Structure 1
């Protein structure tokens, strides 16, 4: 009996060991499958979108190659078969001499249809080009943190340079060269370099969900892209008007908290608002009677929870209309009629 029990125990131990030993093999296989899936996703995106990425050469008519290099270059993405190209406004600058070099090395002249320094975007057209490889703009609102993204550029003539990463954060704000805040910016850890500026940030579905625009110097792995929904709005405005139409009221401000006691007395739910720190003389705000220290909490029925909301609400739909602005002044709610005018386009 003792021997039988011992043998049975030994048999069970062997059985347990045989069951546990192979379990490591599926784990390794699963990890390899995941890596393969990741690689295939990046490869698929690069093959589908890479041919639509062009190198944007600015001041390209200069005879000296070194002079051309000093004048600047970047990347762009063809978004229609008739040659519409999105890039950064800081890549284009004030130049009207543009050349576009595609993935096959074919060069064509380009012309600037319009620039919007406030969002660091520019729309170009490749002259005389038809049936180009192009990519589609996706819906950046569908993005999620941690989602795989691929940045593609054409830096220094190295076509279809590809880096991959994830969406690190959504809804970021960065300052444009004009001082205006660029809203709804995508933060990614996909490595970029200056030559990638203007190139596309692409989802695993091969849709352009951003235009690469900025790198924080000295902060490794922090890069930004203007969301595709912003780009869609900008290009539609440029096609219709040649520039982006925005409303203007002549104020400067900052985001500030609304004291709880003021919110209770005024009967509002805002925790934050846009504190007006400056009023331009003879501007729409001054004519309406707005004062420094007023806190805007609503404009034309839209809640204002900060200066960025105020800037965003002042779009083309509010131009030359008398609208209501609710402000807190000395803790009391006031409704003021204001008449925004069209903002002058930013100088190129």
Structure 2
């Protein structure tokens, strides 16, 4: 009987592995044709990755992939080779938007990163170390991170993953098992094992819409670093909200607008001007350029276990 049970377990394991393989293969077949190799012409040279988000040639990549370039050369899996024009860059999120010089045969629109959960499969596609259209897979390790880019800027609403990334993966898509692009791969920590980051799709969507409208991203600055985190039930009950997640202040910049009104490390931001803040992407979206210099009310659950309303005067974030 034990022998039969072993065979049953072995068959089940094989079926699971086959299902996992099919999932990854299906995702690559779906999204892979939209992934581009980006070569920087002039300046320091170099190459990275990107992906088309619409058939008319809009391509998302990292700011550091195209920064300082005099021109952009694009290569797609279907054999297309052409040039691209930089529509706008946002160093604060390490994102850039390119327009190809022709329509493209495949695209992979950005999805909704708010539905992500830790432990979900994460698949990265890109051109690491010059090896074109490489696929790696892992899991979503953490959500709502804030990490410091090589420029010293703090990038908010970042997904942490253990999918292997290397130089050249920058700008490529991070994809869920459902084939939805949930992030833009942006950074690795040198010397670390299995720690890499991607800007969440919801923040990327906000940045892209700003670039398309204004050619740049103009945002309000309050001087905090935040993480998405589960909202303690006692905090939700005390504040009278039904949210299960919020953002917690991980750092408050001395002398900044938040510090001046008494926001402290460890405080939860529950709402901004009455709009719920369920994650870092909400905070990025709500602190747009329209709030610069305008009194803005923050609903806070404080480290002293009190619900408070703080009026912050956001300033323009320097670029």
Say yes or no: TM over 0.5.
yes
Equivalent in the alignment of 2:30: 48
Q: TM-score w.r.t. structure 2 length?
A: 0.78
Is 1:187 the counterpart of 2:168? The answer is: no
Whole-Å Cα distance in 2 between the matches of residues 203 and 232 of structure 1? 17
Which entry has the higher C-alpha Rg, 1 or 2?
A: 1
Instruction: Give the conservation status (yes or no) of the 8 Å contact 2:293–2:315.
Output: yes
Number of matched pairs: 293
Among 97, 105, 123, the alignment partner of 1:150 is 123
Deviation at 1:231, TM superposition (A): 0.6
When residues 33 and 312 of structure 1 are mapped into structure 2, their CA distance, relative to the original with a 3 A threshold, is: same
Deviation at 1:236, TM superposition (A): 0.5
1:197-216 residue pairs with structure 2 within 5 A? 197-216=170-189
Equivalent in the alignment of 2:9: 27
Deviation at 1:96, TM superposition (A): 3.6
Equivalent in the alignment of 1:277: 254
Equivalent in the alignment of 2:231: none
List per-residue Cα deviations over 1:269-318 (Å, max 9, x = no partner). Answer: 9xx76755225xxxxx6xxxx986944677645799xx999877532231
**What SS does structure 2 have at the residue aligned with 1:104?**
coil
Deviation at 1:123, TM superposition (A): 0.5
Equivalent in the alignment of 2:87: 113
Whole-Å Cα distance in 2 between the matches of residues 246 and 114 of structure 1? 15
Deviation at 1:159, TM superposition (A): 2.7
Whole-Å Cα distance in 2 between the matches of residues 303 and 150 of structure 1? 30
Equivalent in the alignment of 1:218: 191
Instruction: Give the conservation status (yes or no) of the 8 Å contact 2:146–2:225.
Output: no
Q: Quick check: which one's helix share is greater?
A: 1
List per-residue Cα deviations over 1:156-207 (Å, max 9, x = no partner). Answer: 5533210111111111110134544222211111101101111001111111
Equivalent in the alignment of 2:209: 236
List per-residue Cα deviations over 1:66-116 (Å, max 9, x = no partner). Answer: xx8x52110001110001000000111122411111113431110100000
**Which deviates further from its counterpart, 211-220 or 174-183?**
174-183
List per-residue Cα deviations over 1:305-339 (Å, max 9, x = no partner). Answer: xx999877532231353445799xxx9x9988665
**What SS does structure 2 have at the residue aligned with 1:277?**
coil
Instruction: Give the conservation status (yes or no) of the 8 Å contact 2:123–2:135.
Output: yes
Whole-Å Cα distance in 2 between the matches of residues 230 and 37 of structure 1? 31
When residues 157 and 295 of structure 1 are mapped into structure 2, their CA distance, relative to the original with a 3 A threshold, is: closer
**What SS does structure 2 have at the residue aligned with 1:108?**
strand
Deviation at 1:51, TM superposition (A): 1.1
Whole-Å Cα distance in 1 between the matches of residues 263 and 130 of structure 2? 51
Whole-Å Cα distance in 2 between the matches of residues 93 and 315 of structure 1? 23
Deviation at 1:47, TM superposition (A): 1.4
Is 1:83 the counterpart of 2:83? The answer is: no
Whole-Å Cα distance in 1 between the matches of residues 77 and 20 of structure 2? 24
Instruction: Give the conservation status (yes or no) of the 8 Å contact 1:53–1:199.
Output: yes
**What SS does structure 2 have at the residue aligned with 1:100?**
strand
